[in-house]
Structure 1
């Protein structure tokens, strides 16, 4: 949004040259003025009314409709602290959705977007919104009211603002006390989307058909333009009236009020322009507190253009306030002068009380017996912990939802289904899924219970399952005031967590619980910290499941989480889930399981020591629900199959029936002997590309494997790695016969290996 101090100039630079100052919401209004009578002590109308500040610091209105500002006005208005108003008409029009009904606001938004998808959007009090467009020719003010009337008989409405209207472009909203915002930034005037009158007519006809209880379109709600002829008066009467009106700062405290006098004189004498200017000059010469520059007066006079709002009758009224004036005879009898403000000047309104903030103080750290500090309350392994937020990030379709379902069952049943300890369990767990329907959640949870043999008695009412399709949780939303926590939702969420004594709540996915930009660090920080407050207040663990951005072949890490990094900053434990890659499957001889294996690792854990190994492999096992047609096997075969997560083991545990237990029992002797033979013959190159010189060919013969088979070749490579990891072999770099550096696999000089080599050589 544009900065407040240079705002007037900034909007003028964008081509919005018809600007007006707007009275701030907390401004004091002149008592006894027409503006004060109209507003009274109501604060909510301030912030929406054009006006200026007098020398006494009080605000009052002025004749803004015909007013044309100059550069000095822009600087002066900015110095006053006025909000920025932009007059509509002359090509600029605003579609104002004046409704607090979010559904109706969305209907209007979508209809406008269909016509002008790039129209700038101004928001003051969400979901109300205003959309800016240009129109090829003048169209009348249009109003469409809809919905049931309130207690005062008023309805929601959408308006087309044109001539003799304005909108607040920048300032403070009187109700929210927050700045107006532009969720879609205002563009230069000449870049606004252009519509024709037929487009707007069709738009309002569509809205009338779509909005509930819509009324007949009203195109006369602005009262129409003032009849300019009605403002005219008699030259003699006007001259006498102006002569009776004092020109002092008490009665004309600002430049705008001085111009109002000129507008009225010009409107009163449209057919006598020279006489009108003479009368205005005479009045200006009577300025009681100095002199007016004739060139400035002449310049201002040239810029005073119709339509006018005040004329002869207004001048007569001012004259009557200072004596006995008869317009018919142009006779004026002065009376004792009394201070009277014709433009809303005097007496103040009390400023709105500033909200009080609690004092911020620093707390000295006292001596504490560390043995009295409560232990951290882990619930499940080193990931779920009371009073903290944890996070799981993964690409779509990997198995993160299946993983959290099994973890929820483990905590609710107290059984270590995935090998993790359930600490002080069993626990009460709430699984909230924002994407899937309830029947799909029932399939997934039931399949996991079948697979692990979990009964309803095992969970004993400790598992809670809900879907966002039926019970939505939107904790924060983007409003015209920026990202805002929806306190009623936060309160209701806290209440249900406390009532049900929830120990852990799993939120899948995190994005379903807010309506703010994922890329806005400040907005995401607000949301995640609200989740942390809820975790703290309810003494529960909050697990946020989140998607990752496009990886382009990279392995998933927590840093790949989609959008802003604030989620990870707030989380005290974060883990990433990755699919097994095709290359990993080939190296491990597990091509037939590609797509069913994934791993997760701790990417960040501020509170626990790193887990041994740091990586676990999981498998999606297929579980039939037996909910098909027919009986027995037919019912099972024709029913749904659901993936359920189970432990597959770490890299050391990846096995295949054909490969056997590599390095176990006789395998070790055969492998050592095979490498020793290759080494003796000089055919112990490390690379498969070495052909017959590759050490793996000797291992293949020892284990009866086929080096041309990808799966067998992967097992051979794994066997070599196992020998090196176990200290039985090593990689050595040396020159070959052509003096080119190559890698070779050689046995280590351990006594065990030496014995094996000796036996092998003796046997050979």
Structure 2
């Protein structure tokens, strides 16, 4: 009877193992052969979690691991090998077995990334798997039985960080102890060096299933020669060999380019030579010629090159022709090509469609937080440093997680699941600011149960790397991010700040910006989540313009929504009912792509304030921290924004002035700003700026207490002249003008 797996359970175990830090890969069902070509570092979660019956077995990359694979059918011999493991290797490894067999595998962490070792003899074989190998950790063995883990301890239940570390000295001692048990005189055999002969190279475990590339990449044969050359060059440019250039990988890529040459790619040998010379492991032209001429078709294909290039950030969709959906008859590879299944969405993905095929009632935009966050799209928040981006983002996080409009902005469908990632601050700092915001807004843990947070110390993400001077996606970093997203299953992902994720790659490069934001756009669309990313504004740019973002234009162009935090100017404070000295704590949120309006009372205003935390640690720290939080600010243009003594002093200065003060004069004796600032200074701790005085005067004029009228001003030795002056409303002061 054929045994099958519950695909939902397979997906859950893969999710758990990914979250535990293991690099996984798909393996053909009831077998040991990986599905993908370049599987050595594991596959992306989005690929792994698309489980099918044909790919239901799960493998674990042994890079950074030491797996003792005991291939021996004599139970007595296996007992002796286990005794040797107990003696020489650390305790508590993961133990994988299969029913009805004495064979087993012990999983440890490695000290570094060592390669494979083998001890073999008349009684069987012990392999020590490492970099370049994989172990099937979940699924059905070729014998038809289901693999098991002793005591329920498996990659799905035990973190990779908890694996005991087997040093290479301990491994050597263990293998030496196994030699007499297995009856071998050569206990340790390294399988890490590959000769130039392609048949030997292709049979090595490093490239176990590279010939499968053409099953999905047959479209390369349909490209024009120039396009073949362009895509081969793009892939080589994306594969970095300057820092690390192991010979086995060099041969793998060289033979993949050789296959491209056989398929009609012009200048393939020259492209491979130029790329090889840039590599750290470059030897000589003679060595290159020998390797190139040793290539024989059939073992490694151009699919390997395309896959590695895609991992490096090459967008294969730029070359892939639509004709792949109807393979040409007579092509020698047609027999192994599987035509992609047609789906209801396929017309949209192929190109333009008729208006008649559009839905009569288009789907509603799924707003989540005001008009700032929409499901399936990326929003970008751009503002200079120290303006309150992180504080506002944290308030957005607790608002959405609680479903409460704590800043006055509506939360649609809340409470929502939120993943907040701060790539600059530690988790302790994040906890302090989060607790302060919750305290200020009266929220308990149960109110924000759907909020998940990660500081820089517990989730370090690098999403871009430079390969040969060209930016590319860092697959490991994206894997880590996607694992978190799939574990939390959020409605909203908040990331702060973007610059901390780029790994030193310059965001002034449009291709780098397009790669990163484009990947975020894909994740948001595929998972139907909203992503909001905080980013710094560039110096010497208008902070509230769409071009304010530091870096290339692609950052803003690819984001659906671009937001900015605009501080309230002192001169505009009175328009929203504030004194100018309070303006610096208030800002509004605007959409830089569409909102260019001046400040007004209907804008979305928030105010920075502080919360005193009860976290003192006397005697060294007798006082708790004062932590900034944001709250809703409600403008009131008609309110009395200045203390009564300030108003009285200003009115007295205006009423006593002779001649009446000029609202525009610059002379110290007649300028309203200078005289009023001197009058109100004693009531403002001894200091008042001209901006303060102008704000007070603006309030007095708007409230009808002061008016501007023509006044007659005498001039000694000459006749009087008329100018505008400030006059108290209702006063009996003569203007001198009939």
In the superposition, the TM-score normalised over structure 1's length comes to: 0.46
Q: Which has the larger radius of gyration?
A: 1
